[in-house]
Amino acid sequence: MQGFHQEVIGLLAGYAPVWLVGGAVRDYLLGTESKDMDLVSTLEIEKADEILREHGYRPHKIGAKFTTISLFQGEGRIDITCVTDLEQDARRRDFTINAMYMNPDNGQIFDPLDGRRDLKEKILRTCNQPEITFKQDPVRILRMVKLAVKLGFNIEDKVWSQAREQINLLVQTAKERVTAELAEILVLSEAEKAVNMLWDLSYWHVFIPELARLKGVVQNQYHSLDVWDHTMAVFRNTPQDLFLRLAGLFHDLGKWETASREYYLAGKLEYRDDNYWLEGCQIIGTRGKNELDYKLHPLLGKQVKMLGARLDHFPQVVQFKRLLSHEEVPQGLTQVENGKRHFLNHERASAKLAAEILKRYSFAMFFPGKGEKREKDLVELIANHMQATLIFMPELRGEPTRKPFRDRAAALVWQTCWNGREFELQKIHDFILLWRADFQAGKVHTEEQNEVLDKITGELIQIALWQNENLPKINWKNFRQFSVSQGIKGEELGIFKSRVRARAMQEMQIELNSHF
């Protein structure tokens, strides 16, 4: 027990009996220490507030009716509640293992609901009928999952079935409270087990259907798992960090809506409602509408043949791949025999979905520093998570390359870390950890491929450290002289300087000679 805890207990115990309750008692009996502490006392809450303020504390009243006061010191927290009857209070609590009361003076335990027995049997039971317990506070469903996984406990059958039945009640709960429980769940050492329990409770189906629908989505030849199982493997491979756990969970959300198979199309190309159409299918580009305008607009009204990727879940939509000329293709829409399985631009779709999901929660509260910025970083990381795989595919496959490795690596690091104002080393750290987790969740790799991955990530780290250290050392003297001689100023000067800075960092030079 911390000195902070002992002092507060001593102050209040001078006026009325005080009991420890909840997680602090449970953890004490399990042989672990709790940073937070719940106290109950017959002392009126206003009197407790007055006593604590007289001794220099600044208590905060919380709860719907301000029936609890909280104290904070460092990482420690104490919640104090006024009660008149311990047994009645126990019935209002969540689980029996959290409804044991301890006298801080002599260690005596008051256990009206046999919580000690359930602690020994490693089982979670509610303090009241489960339907009443969960209706009183639906967040207890999430807490049930957290405790079961964290402590390695089983859940009583009727408690589990009622939790599943009452899962929709979480809709009524403040998102801050839901997020607080999820944030703790996602960083558990066995968080994957908790994620799967939430699946079994239909939590994901109700609140993040974009994640739930990934189960059963078949992948391409580069994967042996469906998208859900692959996502779980990536999630499992990430460290116990909320940012990276969310990145692992959300990185492939877009694969459901971009899942496609190769098809041939042959027929008359049309344009209506600002879209290109062929054989009743809307043709969309993977590089923006300009690509389609350039390649397809001259062919309007003509018979054309093309190779495309027809979306599984939007079968009237086909992603354009390329035009065909000499190939024999039947009229209409024909699936390519042994054609490729695609998820074109799934990373961008995933980022868009992740941004929408984040609005339903308040994870920014749980990221250190600038939380809202970290949410944006998370979306950006998801949008770019395929970059390293695409850029370093030759190295991973043992194939020759046209552009030197160092040039590609330096460009990737710069694009990842430079935000237009400052160089953020944290971003390459996050990028590498997600890439490694994703890579290891694919098909089994050879020892040589794993060594190549280690070498690449090591080089990326060294380049990032160099760029971070040398960015302030760029010698701008020649740049200034050149800009003045050419009359470059204003906005044009800013754009020019930005390009020169990027090139200097990507070529890993700080002397801006005539070459620039």
The domain spans of the chain are 3-121, 130-207, 260-342, 347-473
Model confidence band, residue 515 (pLDDT cutoffs 50, 70, 90): low
pLDDT digits (tens, 9 = 90+) for 68-125: 899 988 778 899 999 999 999 999 999 999 999 999 999 999 999 999 999 999 999 9
Q: Which CATH architecture has domain 3-121?
A: 2-Layer Sandwich (3.30)
Percent of the chain at pLDDT exceeding 70: 98
pLDDT score recorded for residue 232: 98
Model confidence band, residue 342 (pLDDT cutoffs 50, 70, 90): very high
- Which residues are CB-neighbours of 8 under 8 A, at least 6 positions away? 39, 52, 57, 71, 78, 80
Model confidence band, residue 1 (pLDDT cutoffs 50, 70, 90): low
d(CA 510, CA 30): 58
State the distance between the two ends of the chain, measured CA to CA, in whole angstroms: 64
Which of helix, strand or coil describes residue 232?
helix
pLDDT score recorded for residue 36: 83
Model confidence band, residue 5 (pLDDT cutoffs 50, 70, 90): confident
d(CA 329, CA 374): 49
HSE of 437, CA atoms in CB hemisphere, 13 A: 28
In order of 131, 215, 271, 288, the CA distances from 301 in angstroms are 64, 41, 8, 22
Residue found by looking up tokens 């490795």 in the block: 405
d(CA 501, CA 509): 10
Model confidence band, residue 444 (pLDDT cutoffs 50, 70, 90): confident
In order of 48, 145, 414, the CA distances from 411 in angstroms are 61, 44, 5
What's this model's pTM, rounded to 2 decimal places?
0.92
Q: Which CATH architecture has domain 260-342?
A: Beta Barrel (2.40)
pLDDT score recorded for residue 224: 75
CATH topology of domain 130-207: Hydrophobic Seed Protein (1.10.110)
d(CA 96, CA 413): 52
d(CA 151, CA 123): 10
Q: What is the mean pLDDT of residues 462-489?
A: 95
Instruction: Please compute Rg for the chain using Cα positions.
Output: 30
d(CA 471, CA 503): 11
pLDDT score recorded for residue 64: 56
Selected residue with higher pLDDT from 446 and 500: 500
The percent of the chain in helix, strand and coil, each rounded to the nearest 5, is 50, 15, 30
Contact 282, 260 (CB under 8 A): no
pLDDT score recorded for residue 76: 81
pLDDT digits (tens, 9 = 90+) for 33-83: 888 899 999 999 899 999 999 988 898 887 655 578 999 887 788 999 999
